[in-house]
Amino acid sequence: GPCIEVRGGGKTYASARGPVTALTDVGLAVQEGEFLSLLGPSGCGKSTLLRAIAGLDPLTSGTIMLRGVPITRPPERMGMVFQRDVLLDWRSIRDNVLLAAEFQGLPRRAHEARAMALLDRFGLGAFAERHPWELSGGMRQRAAICRALLCEPEILLMDEPFGALDAMTRDDLNLELSRIQQDGARTVVFVTHSIAEAVYLSDRVAVMSTGPGRVVEVFDIDLPRP
Ligand code: ADP
Ligand code: ADP
């Protein structure tokens, strides 16, 4: 069966101006090992759906199954990269990456070598002892990706990780993809409003539309991979 399955997914937020329906009747299946992008305009509910899959903010109707089991809380073996990197300014880059182990109550010592290997792979080896404010936005996002990969997640969720950056070239994206896929993170759900990012990075693209948010079409992408 699928790795992640959303059935009849609906989300209505309560807000000061009354209820806001962000998602309605979303159906989506993400297969084991695939890289799937959620593509759609701002406000169509991409972040809402990703947060629900992460177990951070539940749907108000429908179900999300992880390998056949309904999600009720943030699952283990899941890594998440947010739109804005959420690095702690008073910790070094290496210690920010090691936070992922601390959050899960895993021994820090056992993860130090992997943290350095990840930072090397993402071109940040020389910046391990620097602090977030000393790095560019792109470097900070790559550090956040290292943190999400530290504990070898089986599922990686990314919410516009490159969204705050200038448009990336196809070569840039292929490089990031190869870094992400080199080990761990077999199943990836990637949120973007950029068609180029979705096409260059994904095996499949689920297109969402507003009014209210739903998945309107799913495309296979058949591009040669790096
Ligand atoms: P996105 O770029 O994904 O649309 P936004 O920048 O619109 O995200 O939203 C940033 C944060 O504000 C999110 O945590 C989101 O949940 C929250 N948010 C977005 N829209 C509203 C709203 N209408 N009322 C309250 N919070 C909102
Ligand atoms: P996207 O990620 O595609 O930009 P979002 O999931 O951030 O879309 O938002 C979908 C809709 O839900 C938008 O209309 C947004 O304003 C609304 N929304 C998001 N978060 C909140 C929130 N915390 N409270 C109220 N409305 C929200």
**Is 184 a residue whose pLDDT tops 70?**
no
pLDDT band at 192 (very low <50, low <70, confident <90, very high): very high
Q: Is the CB of 165 under 6 A from ligand 2?
A: no
Among the bound ligands, name the one nearest to the CA of residue 49.
Answer: 2
Measured from the Cα of 47, ligand 2's closest atom is 2
Average pLDDT over residues 182-211: 89
**Is 120 a residue whose pLDDT tops 70?**
yes
> Is 36 in a helix, a strand, or coil?
strand
Q: Is 122 exposed, middle or buried (0-12, 13-18, 19+ CB in 10 A)?
A: buried
| Residue 159 CA to ligand 2 centre (angstroms) | 13
Q: Compute the half-sphere exposure of residue 35: CA atoms within 13 Å on the CB side of its CA.
A: 21
Average pLDDT over residues 172-183: 82
Among the bound ligands, name the one nearest to the CA of residue 20.
Answer: 2
Residue of the nearest CA to atom 26 in ligand 2?
A: 13
| Residue 156 Cα distances to 30, 201, 226, angstroms | 12, 14, 19
Q: Is the CB of 15 under 6 A from ligand 1?
A: yes
Among the bound ligands, name the one nearest to the CA of residue 38.
Answer: 2
Q: Residues 131, 141, 6, 54: what is their CA dihedral angle, to the nearest 10 degrees?
A: 0
Q: Is the CB of 56 under 6 A from ligand 2?
A: no
d(C-alpha 57, C-alpha 71), whole Å: 11
**Is 179 a residue whose pLDDT tops 90?**
no
Total Cβ atoms within 10 A of residue 47: 18
pLDDT, tens digit, 9 for 90 and up, residues 63-88: 999 999 999 877 888 999 988 888 99
Helix (H) or strand (E) holding 171, with range, is helix 170-181
Q: Which of 190, 186, 222 is nearest to 203 (CA)?
A: 222
Quick one: what percent of the chain has pLDDT higher than 70? 96
Buried residues in 165-199 as b, exposed as e (16+ CB within 10 A): eeebeeeebbebbebbbeebbbbbbbbbbbeebbb
**Is 162 a residue whose pLDDT tops 90?**
no
The predicted pLDDT at position 75 comes to: 81
Q: Is the CB of 48 under 6 A from ligand 1?
A: no
- The mean-pLDDT minimum among 19-28, 71-80, 159-168, 210-219 falls in 159-168
Residue type (1 letter), 59: L
Does the CA dihedral 39-45-46-49 come out positive or negative?
Answer: negative
The predicted pLDDT at position 166 comes to: 66
Measured from the Cα of 191, ligand 1's closest atom is 3
Does the predicted interface ipTM exceed a cut of 0.90? no
The predicted pLDDT at position 173 comes to: 81
Q: Is the CB of 47 under 6 A from ligand 1?
A: yes
Of the two residues 178 and 195, the one the predictor is more confident about is 195
Does the CA dihedral 195-200-201-206 come out positive or negative?
Answer: positive
Q: Is the CB of 47 under 6 A from ligand 2?
A: yes
Mean pLDDT (the chain, rounded):
91
Total Cβ atoms within 10 A of residue 109: 9
pLDDT, tens digit, 9 for 90 and up, residues 11-42: 999 999 999 999 999 999 999 999 999 999 99
**Is 175 a residue whose pLDDT tops 90?**
no
Residue type (1 letter), 22: A
Q: CB–CB of 203/35 below 8 Å?
A: yes
Q: Is the CB of 18 under 6 A from ligand 1?
A: no
Q: Which of 188, 88, 77 is nearest to 98 (CA)?
A: 88
